Amino acid sequence: MERIVVKIGSSSLTSSEGGLHKPNIHFFASELAQLYKQNKQVMLVTSGAVAAGFREIGYESRPKLVYQKQAAAAVGQALLMQAYQEAFAQYGIVTAQILLTRNDFSNRKRINHALMTIEELLSQRIIPIINENDTVSTAEIILKFGDNDHLSSLVATMTKASKLVIITDMDGLYTADPRKNPDATKIERVDQISEELVQLAGGAGSAVGTGGMRSKIEAARIAMRGGVTTFIGRVQYDGELLQAVDGNGRGTYFDTSQHSLSMKKQWLGFHSTPVGTIMVDQGAVTALRERHSSLLPAGVVSCEGEFYPGDVVQVVAQDGKLIGRGVVNYASWQLKATAGLSSEEVERRVDVPRIEVIHRDEWITLS
């Protein structure tokens, strides 16, 4: 059974002044219901809690202080779920609320419990409606998810969805801002996200949302690495969500040849927090990227930070570019003493659990 994650941002659900726009809620419910009736497993990642709630509290505009955002989210989340439940009830569809934070993804046990909950809901033909838990998130986390674009990609990879649909007010990615440049042309398909492509994206597009095209491209990058095809574009008329899922939507498609990642690799690549950095030479970069080899001490140039066996570290090339992350088998002081040495020499000098600095089974390439 095909799994689809659909992400809808604040600007698509609320008015420009704030507050829920009920006709839009009902429109998207009807679009999702069409997918549901095709026997697809549907997950909805939604924004809009802060935008829905700040007018109810009495704020004149979207708040900027953290505690004000959290207060608005506490009011708005209840209004948002009520609106969704009423809209989906017309189609006989039961919905469930799931609130997640960045810390949930960082903790392997907690995110596994969240995954089991989502799996059970899907098996019971219930649509999980997922949002960030703004009322307990810190300011850093609120900004980090980027209007839930990042969250939607994490959910898509975690649940091994086949497709991620990110709905926005633009009909895809352009070579320039089409609202300002009449010569801008739309990019129909992308199979690799380059830095040049990321630079094409600008900032947030509306006063009620926090995510711009850049955060959506970053979300597509994560989804692609996890084996999830992504669509970024507009869903405005009846049947357009089906068209987007079927490959005929008004937007840009981000194709991938990658396979879905195990939960272990997902956690390592997208959720873990590195505590140190290892710089490697070009030979090691080639071995890690192209030959999928383990990292040996001979390829290490230097390291920064204090870490111990079992910690997660990031690995960079000598130009500072990120290569990937892995679970290290050395303490930082051991690695400093053995960097650049042959495996035989390392075995004579230090006592480590295994000779590989990072074993390939504990590694994920990120570039």
CB atoms under 10 Å from CB of 180, counted, come to 8
Tell whether 210 is in a known binding site.
yes
Nearest to 129 by CA among 155, 149, 90, 158: 155
Tell whether 47 is in a known binding site.
yes
Nearest to 1 by CA among 126, 186, 162, 211: 162
Tell whether 53 is in a known binding site.
no
Tell whether 224 is in a known binding site.
no
Tell whether 55 is in a known binding site.
no
Tell whether 338 is in a known binding site.
no
Tell whether 214 is in a known binding site.
yes
CB atoms under 10 Å from CB of 324, counted, come to 20
Tell whether 212 is in a known binding site.
yes
Tell whether 9 is in a known binding site.
no
Element (H, E) at 283: helix 282-289
Tell whether 148 is in a known binding site.
yes
Tell whether 213 is in a known binding site.
yes
Tell whether 101 is in a known binding site.
no
Nearest to 167 by CA among 101, 211, 115, 207: 211
Tell whether 153 is in a known binding site.
no
Query: What's the distance, Cα to Cα, between the start and end of the chain in Å?
Result: 31
H runs (alpha helix) in 90-209 = 102-106, 108-123, 139-144, 149-158, 195-199
DSSP 251: E
Strand residues in 47-184 grouped as ranges (E) = 95-100, 127-132, 163-167, 173-174
Binding residues for substrate: 47, 134, 148
Binding residues for ATP: 7, 168-169, 210-216
Binding residues: 7, 47, 134, 148, 168-169, 210-216
